[in-house]
Structure 1
């Protein structure tokens, strides 16, 4: 069993730190992405001063970049002068095979799984040492969670994360095991050795099953989604622990994951799996 810590954490140096000052002579594209990276769930609309401070870019340069990004639709400016992420980014992001492409294949099966369970149904991919949530279906009366589409989840304390980690290359697994620290949930994974054992169990059983007791009791079953070359995503159901059993939810999740896998392979989708992003160790 494993915890389901909902607070996204970074895996070592897998991603650039938000707010880090760009190196001298940093290319414009890097500075532009640093500026865009200043936005997050808690900072959706920002002043120029906020953008400069959070991105580490001098205010004058931040203003020039922000104006350029507004010009191409990557940023939008509100009446009060604050900046927000622009719809042009959504338009471009919708073309990502591992995002919208995989989501479009998986959605009919996720909807079936949702109607059967009436709980949270999650679809995530491995990205830069974390699980990136690309779709979530949730009943109005489902237990509250802090998962959001586009949000990042830790690999070592979520169902989808453990599935993705278990089928990652050995180097990715060893990094996660070496850096492991216990989470905040009902945690049977207390040491790196525990994590190694759980990952082996996930590979052997081809699914992850676990629960957390804090901040409220939740349980999950997660299973891998594959194409012809390996694991490309993980599918899970998250529900209240009361009455939650592997027997009750496991077969439905695994059947849906297999159906998505067959569809992905049958349609010959390309670009769903990045080098180093999946695969059996």
Structure 2
């Protein structure tokens, strides 16, 4: 049993080495990234191909359709995405900028859905991709209304620098979260990528817990990004109510934190 678990863990490691820009990888690249002998990688790849988690190409290997199929069966993000789609589409029509929906996974945000504006692409994110919470409007919107222990975890892990404008001082981040709790809107001012500005707002669930965030991203100036704040906030409130949130004082519960 222990050997079976070990094999499963190593097989999952092979899948995990694929990055956002990796359409396909060679067996040697997989083995090197996973830190395992090529012979071991070859054996595991054979099993993964048979299970359709990987597919062979003329020049290497790529992630298989079985993973895509299973990913769409994950209940919470899928339900959230289904409920959110009309609101995201309306927000896209209103702003004509890229619209994002994301949930928290560990200390990152994972993008569940995107409406990409051809005139304002966001090349460093994709559906299924992830970014640190502290440098994105989505992440800060979630972090502001999460238990204080999560912020401590984020700070303890280190505020990784994505651009010269990324917040790296915990005191600055804490102060910004206070402002976000007051206005219910968060901003990313070239903190995740130079040239991009983003405005986001949290989504609340039935018990008043923060469950996700929605945002608008574009190549516009900071002042233009702020111009989109009312539309983003309106979408977040409407979607939160559809998710079962009754409103009330929940977003103010952290005001004195």
TM-score range, shorter chain: 0.7 to 0.9
Contact 1:223 1:235 in 2 (8 A): yes
* Secondary structure, counterpart of 2:228 in structure 1: helix
Q: Which has the higher contact order (CA 8 A, sep 6+)?
A: 1
Is the helix fraction higher in 1 or 2? 2
TM-score, normalised to structure 1, is: 0.79
**Structure 2, unaligned stretches of length 5 or more?**
246-252
Task: Provide closer, same or farther for how the CA distance between residues 28 and 182 of structure 1 changes in structure 2, counting only shifts above 3 A.
Answer: closer
Contact 1:219 1:241 in 2 (8 A): yes
Aligned partner (choices 11, 19, 23) of residue 32 of structure 1: 11
Task: Provide closer, same or farther for how the CA distance between residues 181 and 84 of structure 1 changes in structure 2, counting only shifts above 3 A.
Answer: closer
Aligned-residue Cα RMSD (Å) equals 2.5
**Deviation >4 Å, runs of 4+:** 213-216
Partner residue in 2 for 1:76 = 55
Partner residue in 2 for 1:166 = 144
* Secondary structure, counterpart of 1:234 in structure 2: strand
- Superposed CA deviations along residues 69-105 of structure 1, whole A, max 9, x for unmatched, are 111111111133x111000000001011233221111
- Superposed CA deviations along residues 19-69 of structure 1, whole A, max 9, x for unmatched, are xxxxx9962221111010111123331121111111112222211111111
Partner residue in 2 for 1:66 = 45
Contact 2:214 2:236 in 1 (8 A): yes
Shift of 1:181: 5.2
**Structure 1, unaligned stretches of length 5 or more?**
1-23, 267-278
TM-score, normalised to structure 2, is: 0.85
Shift of 1:249: 1.0
Partner residue in 2 for 1:151 = 129
Aligned residues: 244
Q: Distance in 2 between matches of 1:158 and 1:265?
A: 26
